Structure 1
């Protein structure tokens, strides 16, 4: 199903692989040495891919080349680059350069972002689905990024079908195991499904949910996410104040390493080929190497 091999462990290679979703510190120019060292450690731990936001600047952010250059085999993916922030020429050129320098290791993730974010830059958030299709059409016409080297941020049925038909697969963000199961039904078999899953390695319920809500609060103001969550029985009462306990607990597995691993495995059981694990911490501004190591030992072996 997927384009890279996975090491065996608690999640067997035949079922899924485990990637890592990284936050803001990775792209901080002042922390490049830390990012390089972290990437090497993540590779040594056996993670299959590092996923990072592409940000909202034009083109393919330099951080992707930085991490590829610091490592030997691990994949690196943009999760995602907005089709409103970058032109097809920019994403195509940047991806092609990385493919030449690091063959088969960069995966271009594209998405249509959110109206509130796009319009903050003075851009009209019009026709998001059509804009994504046009971006893919331009990449195909240029021959710069073949479908097997790109994925789409997909939540709803139209974008999932587009990911199935025009890309390697889908990279849903901020979703539940129920969405993963439904997305697999829409995609069918043989199409990459790589959801992001945020986790908190903290056993105190109040503290864990406090950390989780720092992550969920902003996202629950964005209609793309709340519309998707409504499909699975959540409503306004679940979106207030950073999310109800029942929603937060579904979106962000928390607890001991074993409990968090069980939450990740729920997505695998639901049909994920790859899970991009995002470890949330109290500071939100660190490279949590010890926690990455604990999860790698439990999940990958």
Structure 2
């Protein structure tokens, strides 16, 4: 099945005003809605609403961090969504970042690969209705069982950037979710996860013909994300390290404005889709042509009506 996802909530649109938008997404060609969890809405509440607004859409978290909820609470969140949308919910989990986990949620950020692995294994058992008592490497669980097990259990996706996490996703998850890549980077990811695993990616889309505006907005996002160590390492692995080194050097010196200015236009154009809606659709399709299973559009607002932009970006 050809998939075409959208990140909700849309920027600048209150969650309470999303019902009509979400109801119409299938008619515009969208098959999925996915959430994130940073400093806005949580990952689960928008999907709970969407599950009742649009029964044809698949729902996914991209992602729910494994550190900011206890394992049992994460299982309960997932079971709740899976019960609201049987067979239509994908639980995407990931390590998130030290900023979100330690600085914002006052939780230690230790051994992310092992913590994600252990959480995945716990969730597999718990969501299957098993009573779990297990000493995992990074935490222990004693006699936990969901009061309301779900059938079928939801699929589990792993957020993964570098080879070890990507290979873990290929071995033990139903899907890998990645982020901040260009169409030409997709084959490198595919080499790690193999040809069969579902591969999803959030793609930042700025539907405007004003290149200067798109690049300015793109630079803001790139400095916000790609200066985070895990993303910096990801792009070093992808081969984009030399292009982004001047940005990193300026950022480390505390010169945020200079850091943005030093991102090459080519890097922005690689990582942020911009242009007419028709061009943007073709560019998103090029990710799929290179091996992506599920593109997840993240709309970068330009001041125009986001609802109209979402409608025009749908494949119809």
- TM-score > 0.5, shorter chain as reference: yes
Alpha-carbon distance in 2 for matches of 1:207, 1:276: 22
Alpha-carbon distance in 2 for matches of 1:281, 1:57: 16
The change in CA–CA distance for 1:290 and 1:257 in structure 2 (over 3 A counts) is: same
Aligned to 1:136: 120
SS in 2 for 1:231: helix
* Shift in Å, 1:173: 1.3
Normalised TM-score (structure 1): 0.85
The 5-angstrom pairing of residues 260-275 of structure 1 reads 260-275=280-295
Aligned to 2:279: 259
Q: Are 1:84 and 2:102 matched, yes or no? A: no
Comparing 65-74 and 229-238, the one that deviates more = 229-238
Q: Are 1:177 and 2:183 matched, yes or no? A: yes
SS in 1 for 2:16: helix
Comparing 144-153 and 76-85, the one that deviates more = 144-153
Q: Is the 8 A contact 2:4 2:32 kept in 1?
A: yes
Partner of residue 245 from structure 1, selected from 265, 270, 295: 265
Partner of residue 6 from structure 2, selected from 20, 29, 51: 20
* Shift in Å, 1:130: 0.6
* Shift in Å, 1:148: 6.1
Q: Which has the higher contact order (CA 8 A, sep 6+)?
A: 1
Aligned to 2:252: none
* Shift in Å, 1:24: 6.3
SS in 2 for 1:172: strand
Q: Is the 8 A contact 2:101 2:108 kept in 1?
A: yes
Which has the larger Rg?
A: 2
Alpha-carbon distance in 2 for matches of 1:99, 1:152: 17
Q: Is the 8 A contact 1:200 1:279 kept in 2?
A: yes
Comparing 123-132 and 254-263, the one that deviates more = 254-263
SS in 2 for 1:113: coil
Q: Is the 8 A contact 2:36 2:42 kept in 1?
A: no
Normalised TM-score (structure 2): 0.81
Alpha-carbon distance in 2 for matches of 1:287, 1:165: 42
* Shift in Å, 1:249: 0.8
The change in CA–CA distance for 1:68 and 1:287 in structure 2 (over 3 A counts) is: farther
SS in 1 for 2:18: helix
Alpha-carbon distance in 2 for matches of 1:260, 1:59: 28
User: CA offsets per residue over residues 244-300 of structure 1, 9 Å max, x none?
Assistant: 2121111101111232223212211210011111121125xx97111111111xxx2
The change in CA–CA distance for 1:163 and 1:129 in structure 2 (over 3 A counts) is: same
Alpha-carbon distance in 2 for matches of 1:113, 1:216: 17
Q: Are 1:161 and 2:167 matched, yes or no? A: yes
Q: Are 1:290 and 2:299 matched, yes or no? A: no
Alpha-carbon distance in 1 for matches of 2:298, 2:233: 22
SS in 2 for 1:195: strand
* Shift in Å, 1:70: 1.4
* Shift in Å, 1:83: 0.5
The change in CA–CA distance for 1:187 and 1:114 in structure 2 (over 3 A counts) is: same
Q: Are 1:94 and 2:100 matched, yes or no? A: no
Q: Is the 8 A contact 1:147 1:166 kept in 2?
A: no
Q: Is the 8 A contact 2:9 2:15 kept in 1?
A: no
Aligned pairs, how many?
279
Q: Are 1:113 and 2:96 matched, yes or no? A: yes
User: CA offsets per residue over residues 106-162 of structure 1, 9 Å max, x none?
Assistant: 111100011122110222211000100110121123234888611111111111111
Q: Is the 8 A contact 2:127 2:154 kept in 1?
A: no
Alpha-carbon distance in 2 for matches of 1:132, 1:40: 34
Q: Is the 8 A contact 1:169 1:192 kept in 2?
A: yes
The change in CA–CA distance for 1:56 and 1:291 in structure 2 (over 3 A counts) is: closer
Q: Are 1:200 and 2:206 matched, yes or no? A: yes
